[in-house]
Amino acid sequence: MSKKKLALFSVIIANITIILSACSNNNTSQEFDEMTTFAMDTIMSFTLETSELYDTQEVFINVENQIRQFENLFSWRIENSDIYSINNSQAMDYASVSDDTIEILEIANIMSEETDGAFSVTISPLVDLWGFGDEEKVPQYEDIENVLEFIDWRGVYIDNENNSVALAQDNMSLDLGAIAKGFVAEKITDYLQDIGVENGHFSLGGNISTIGLKNDGSRWKIAIQNPLDANNHLGIIEASDVFIVTSGGYQRYFVEDGITYHHILDCSTGYPSDSGLLSVTIICNDGTVADVLSTAFFVMGLDKSLEYLQNNDYVEVIFVTEDGEVVATSGADEIFDFNGEDNEFSYRVVD
């Protein structure tokens, strides 16, 4: 997380990945209030239109409280969180959990199956071994081999009737790092729409939700960062009422003996994925799916992801490859203005 952040036009900084343009000078009566906080290990920022229907300051407090409640369920670090309880139970010992935890783990299992295990919340022992979020180091090969048998989404058993979850083996444990922020973004968007928010946007560490329009009637602008240079971007998405999430190796990494190791791991090898991609941006009307697929596609690589998209047309994607190509699906192309030529990236649209 050491990349330098920059401001573009009159922008607020959404995260190191994506830069979201804030409301520009207004010629209408609409006004927007802003709030920034730190939760779930990341910076979160909110911009909401003011309205007679609600008090934005009160809404910000409610939103923050809800996020902290989710964090208290989903963080493996927080003692007595649902995930902590599951991780610290014996094999096949069912831990009682909340409805939200059942829901997120059910989605996780479905998405693991759909992505052929490229995404798996059972990644935790590997994340631990690599020390991500803690003291990062390249593990011994034998240690990686030893934990690979515990990375298996099929070993997450969900008992819907009793709201409880068990893991198949003692050494298995869960890490919701690739899905939790997307799930929370989805829930917060539902809440905001329920109370009557018509225009605004927020970013939970790069999991962006756009609601309605800017005050001049145009769509929200989100810049796609150049993964090779935090000081410039490869183009701008103009979005309304969608979630936009980017995963990239540049977002968290360490260097050892001149080699860069990033935080998105390949469940089949135990090493940082090496699929030829620098970043994947998902545009989707489901926040949870957007978060999962950005991580999964990053692991799967361009060809496998495009195969997946043949049967699933509910997401639009912008891939940035190590070969210097920006590849957009046709739906993404319609709302994306590529400007990466100056940085020697080429652009291609796929059906």
- Binding of ligand AMP at residue 263 (CB under 6 A)? yes
- Binding of ligand AMP at residue 43 (CB under 6 A)? no
- Binding of ligand AMP at residue 220 (CB under 6 A)? no
Q: Which does 265 bind (CB under 5 to 8 A by kind): ligand AMP, Mg ion, none?
A: ligand AMP
- Binding of Mg ion at residue 121 (CB under 5 A)? no
Contacts of ligand AMP in 93-132 (CB under 6 A): 119-121, 123, 127, 132
- Binding of ligand AMP at residue 177 (CB under 6 A)? yes
Q: At its nearest, how many Å lie between Mg ion and the CB of residue 130?
A: 17
- Binding of ligand AMP at residue 267 (CB under 6 A)? yes
- Binding of Mg ion at residue 265 (CB under 5 A)? no
Residue 78 φ/ψ region, left for φ over 0, alpha for ψ in the -120 to 50 degree band, beta for the rest: beta
- Binding of Mg ion at residue 295 (CB under 5 A)? yes
Using CA atoms, how far apart are residues 252 and 262, in angstroms rounded to an integer? 6
* Interface pick for ligand AMP out of 203, 279, 294, 329 (rule CB under 6 A): 294
Q: Which amino acid is at 226?
A: N
21-57 as b/e, with b when 16 or more CB fall inside 10 Å? bbbeeeeeebebeebeeebbebbbbbbbbbbeebebe
Using CA atoms, how far apart are residues 152 and 225, in angstroms rounded to an integer? 33
Q: Which amino acid is at 36?
A: T
- Phi then psi for 317, rounded to 5 degrees? -140, 145
**Residue owning tokens 């208290």:** 72
- Binding of Mg ion at residue 126 (CB under 5 A)? no
Tell how far CA 125 is from the center of its chain: 20
* Length of the chain (residues): 351
Q: Exposed, middle or buried: residue 185 (CB in 10 Å: 0-12, 13-18, 19+)?
A: buried
Query: Which range of residues in 81-89, 192-200, 290-298, 314-322 is near ligand AMP by CB under 6 A?
Result: 290-298
254-291 as b/e, with b when 16 or more CB fall inside 10 Å? beeeeeebbbbbbbeebebbebebbbbbbbbebbbbbb
Q: Which does 120 bind (CB under 5 to 8 A by kind): ligand AMP, Mg ion, none?
A: ligand AMP
Q: At its nearest, how many Å lie between ligand AMP and the CB of residue 56?
A: 28
Element spanning 189, H or E: helix 180-194
Task: Write each residue from 130 to 159 as x if it is in contact with ligand AMP (CB under 6 A), else as -, in one continuous string.
Answer: --x---------------------------
- Binding of ligand AMP at residue 225 (CB under 6 A)? no
Q: Which does 264 bind (CB under 5 to 8 A by kind): Mg ion, ligand AMP, none?
A: ligand AMP
Query: Which range of residues in 44-52, 226-234, 288-296, 326-334 is near Mg ion by CB under 5 A?
Result: 288-296
Question: Which is nearer to ligand AMP, 130 or 345 (by Cβ)?
Answer: 130
Which positions touch Mg ion (CB under 5 A)?
A: 178, 291, 294-295
Which positions touch ligand AMP (CB under 6 A)?
A: 119-121, 123, 127, 132, 175, 177-178, 247, 263-265, 267, 291, 294-295, 299
